[in-house]
Amino acid sequence: MNMKTTLLFPVMLPVLLATTLAAGAAEQPLDFAGNAVPRETRADQVIVITAATRHVNVTGGSVVRFVVGDRSFTWNFQNGVAHVVPFDLARIAPPGLVDHRVTTYVSDNPLYQNN
């Protein structure tokens, strides 16, 4: 590396990381965040999605039933994925169920954290 490259690297690194994270949000595999489970699975939490809902907060290691009107789906969020980039709930919902952007934030379950 020459001197100009060495000086430019610390300046460009945050820009590169932000761009990579933004691109990763669209490309992130959904099975990393969890998986769909049968409707009859007991849910730890029920979240009702309305036209006013803009974001949801869920905890890793929990089963969440999302209710949209008279339809619903259930998702088992894996623990240890809090570093997952927030994603649009429509990515895990059945097609056409969520008609607007609802950002999903996953936090680690403190019960499973090592001290």
Residues whose CB falls within 8 Å of the CB of residue 39, separated by 6 or more in sequence, listed in order: 72, 73, 74
Strand, helix or coil at 56? strand
CA distances from 39 to 1, 82, 85, 91 (A): 57, 25, 26, 18
The pLDDT score that the predictor gives to residue 64 is: 97
How many Å apart are CA 41 and CA 65, to the nearest integer? 9
The pLDDT score that the predictor gives to residue 81 is: 58
Residue 72 β-bridge partners: 67
Query: Dihedral of CA 84/95/73/38: which sign?
Result: negative
CATH class given for the domain over 36-112: mainly beta
Q: What confidence tens digit (pLDDT) does each residue in 33-91 have?
A: 789 999 899 999 999 999 999 999 998 889 999 999 999 999 999 876 555 678 999 99
- Is residue 58 a contact partner of residue 105, using CB atoms and an 8 Å limit? yes
Q: What confidence tens digit (pLDDT) does each residue in 9-30 have?
A: 455 545 544 544 444 445 566 6
How many Å apart are CA 58 and CA 82, to the nearest integer? 10
Is pTM beyond 0.75 here?
Answer: no
Residue ranges per structural domain of the chain? 36-112
